[in-house]
DNA sequence: ACCTTAAAGCAAATTTCTAGCTTCTAGGGA
DNA sequence: TCCCTAGAAGCTAGAAATTTGCTTTAAGGT
């Protein structure tokens, strides 16, 4: 996480934690649009210039916080088979990401991310989850597609619609993507 | 185009044009990061408050300009067959969108877009282009997938990688996506 | 214990943003 | 054609934000 690893223990770490906490608290209290750097600084008991110097601006700070919140907190559930594992995961992914909150985090993560490292992190989270599912399936002796294939055929279409076409996204579509992937070319690559 | 249609002829239109032009000129001269509302206002010979009132903030103004620049200026080339038409289009799409400039426009378009209408417009541009290709192929009697299928299998994966995984994107990948789509399930839907 | 130095604090200067009020002008009606 | 009206644009002062130079603090190494 780019801007995170700064003098791991000690004052810097405390400031970072205080600022992140302040962002989350204020976001809950005032909503995404009520946030300002001076406000956050005050809540975190830090001077605004500290935030400007460490994060550059509000967008980059929010991007860092958003990535944290997009990190999956649990491993994908095991339903005993590749198809059901992937389907369940895709449905849950869609659920979390397509919610107003999820979309806000995705946008924030992309937004204040000059070098693309935060976006890359988000993508890595999804790829890791998928990898867990595929590895598990392979362990069972199932024929599995590659992670890249799943990302292209399931994750990407979902994310594209979330970002570019707010309407008409439901669990059925997610299921359809997984089904299309598995029947079409499960062994590819 | 959301904020564009304001008193089509007359002063408003002139102001809008002046502001958009100013954005493009200044972006060329100073780069994306040198832009500020007061600067743009000065170049456009307009008061800053006019920009704030009409667009809200810099992000929304840039979003409008970005969408304009993402509008395709020509119909997809006709290579005589669905496979080659789609392949060529995908390669060109990737080329334009994955360039630093293209990525900046996509980001800007998504960024200052509270209601998602600009993002929807971008998506519609791509869907329209694809539709032209598919309709043309159908006219030749070819078996074609639906627009949605092409969007899910080609456009979405490309866009996802452009946004989330800056590295490792090339024309070969675009070709592979099209090939996978056409051999796997050309008649689906 | 003592340096070194990255990072935080402070405060002044600058810039950007907001808001209230005035002026202009395109478009419509008499 | 000549008003009238309403939606924008202009102007300005005040509030809020961002930037910047300098000082102080405290981790981490010697």
Mean pLDDT of A117-142: 97
Contact status, residue B112 vs residue B165, Cβ threshold 8 Å:
no
pLDDT of residue A48: 98
The boundaries of every CATH 1.10.357.10 domain in chain B are 72-185
Residues A79, A85: Cα–Cα separation, whole Å: 5
Residue A134: pLDDT over 80: yes
pLDDT one-digit tens code per residue, A67-105: 999 999 999 999 999 999 999 999 999 999 999 999 999
CA separation (Å) from B4 to A90, B15, B41, B133?
A: 38, 11, 17, 29
In angstroms, how far apart are the furthest CA atoms of chain B?
A: 57
Residues B169, A123: Cα–Cα separation, whole Å: 15
Give the closest nucleotide to A19 (alpha carbon vs C1'). C8
- The string of DSSP letters for chain A reads -GGG-SSSSSHHHHHHHHHHHHHHHHHHHH-GGG--HHHHHHHHTS-HHHHHHHHSSHHHHHHHHHHHHHS--SPPP--SSHHHHHHHHHHHHHHHHHSHHHHHHHHHHHHT-TTSHHHHHHHHHHHHHHHHHHHHHHHTT-----HHHHIIIIIHHHHHHHHH--SS--HHHHHHHHHHHHHHHTT--
C1' of D12 to CA of B56 (Å): 20
In the CATH hierarchy, which fold is given to the domain comprising B2-56?
A: Arc Repressor Mutant, subunit A (1.10.10)
pLDDT of residue B9: 59
Residues 6+ apart with CB under 8 A from B24: B65
Question: Percent of chain A having pLDDT more than 70?
Answer: 93
Residues, CB < 7 Å to strand D: A 7-11, 36-39, 48-49, 52-53, 56-58; B 6-7, 11-12, 15-16, 45-50, 53-54
Q: Angle of helix A156-164 relative to helix A100-111, nearest 10 degrees?
A: 90
C1' of D17 to CA of A90 (Å): 42
Residues A26, A24: Cα–Cα separation, whole Å: 6
Bases along strand C below 7 A from a protein CB? 6-11, 15-20, 25-27
C1' of D3 to CA of B4 (Å): 30
- Six token digits for residue A72: 């999956």
C1' of D29 to CA of A9 (Å): 15
Give the range among A27-31, A135-139, A182-186 with minimum mean pLDDT: A182-186
Give the range among A41-50, A127-136, B179-188 with minimum mean pLDDT: B179-188
Residues A36, A16: Cα–Cα separation, whole Å: 16
pLDDT of residue A168: 80
pLDDT of residue B147: 97
Mean pLDDT of A11-26: 96
Contact flag A123-B164 (C-beta cutoff 8 Å): yes
pLDDT of residue B22: 98
Question: Percent of chain A having pLDDT more than 90?
Answer: 87
pLDDT of residue B171: 96
C1' of D14 to CA of B49 (Å): 14
pLDDT of residue B11: 79
Residue closest to sugar C1' of D28 by CA: A7
Of the candidates A122, A161, A166, the beta carbon closest to that of B164 is on A122
Residues 6+ apart with CB under 8 A from A87: A174, A175, A178, A179
DSSP H or E run through B119: helix B117-139
pLDDT of residue A157: 98
Residue identified by tokens 């969408």 is B67
Contact status, residue A37 vs residue A52, Cβ threshold 8 Å:
yes
* Phi then psi dihedrals of residue A75, to 5 deg: -75, 155
Residues in chain B with CB shorter than 8 Å from the CB of A166 are: 116, 119-120
Bases along strand D below 7 A from a protein CB? 7-12, 16-21, 26-28
Q: What class does CATH assign to A72-185?
A: mainly alpha
Residue A122: pLDDT over 90: yes
Contact flag B164-A188 (C-beta cutoff 8 Å): no
pLDDT one-digit tens code per residue, A146-160: 999 999 999 999 999
Q: How many CB atoms lie within 10 A of CB B144?
A: 22
Residues in chain A with CB shorter than 8 Å from the CB of B157 are: 151-153, 156-157
pLDDT one-digit tens code per residue, A166-186: 888 999 999 999 999 998 754
Give the closest nucleotide to B8 (alpha carbon vs C1'). C26
Contact status, residue A158 vs residue A174, Cβ threshold 8 Å:
yes
Contact status, residue A118 vs residue A70, Cβ threshold 8 Å:
no
CA separation (Å) from B19 to A37, A189, B4, B32, B162?
A: 29, 50, 12, 15, 29
What does each of the 189 residues of chain B score in pLDDT, given as a tens digit?
Answer: 334 444 455 778 899 999 999 999 999 999 999 999 999 999 999 999 999 999 999 999 999 999 999 999 999 999 999 999 999 999 999 999 999 999 999 999 999 998 899 999 999 999 999 999 999 999 999 999 999 999 999 999 999 999 999 788 999 999 999 999 998 754 443
Contact status, residue B72 vs residue B57, Cβ threshold 8 Å:
no
Residues in chain A with CB shorter than 8 Å from the CB of B188 are: 180
Of the candidates A111, A157, A164, the beta carbon closest to that of B119 is on A164
Residues B148, B85: Cα–Cα separation, whole Å: 17
CA separation (Å) from A23 to A55, A70, A73, A74, B3?
A: 13, 15, 20, 23, 31
H helix runs in B45-116, sequence order: 48-55, 58-70, 82-98, 100-111
Contact flag B166-A116 (C-beta cutoff 8 Å): yes
């Amino acid at each position: 996480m780019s801007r995170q690893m700064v003098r791991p223990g000690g004052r810097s770490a405390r400031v970072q934690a205080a600022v992140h906490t302040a962002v989350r608290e204020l976001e809950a209290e005032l909503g995404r649009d009520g946030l300002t750097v001076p406000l956050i600084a005050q809540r975190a008991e830090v001077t605004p210039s500290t935030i400007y110097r460490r994060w550059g601006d509000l967008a980059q700070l929010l991007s860092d916080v958003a990535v944290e919140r997009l990190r999956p907190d649990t491993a994908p559930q095991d339903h005993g088979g590749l198809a059901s594992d992937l389907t369940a995961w895709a449905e849950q992914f869609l659920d979390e990401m397509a919610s107003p909150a999820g979309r806000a985090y995705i946008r924030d993560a992309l937004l204040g991310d000059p070098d693309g490292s935060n976006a890359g992190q988000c993508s890595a989270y999804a790829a890791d989850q998928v990898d867990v599912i595929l590895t598990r399936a392979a362990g069972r002796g199932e024929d599995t597609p590659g992670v890249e294939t799943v990302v292209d055929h399931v994750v990407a279409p979902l994310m594209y619609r979330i970002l570019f076409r707010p309407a008409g996204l439901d669990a059925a579509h997610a299921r359809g993507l997984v089904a299309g992937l598995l029947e079409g070319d499960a062994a590819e690559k």
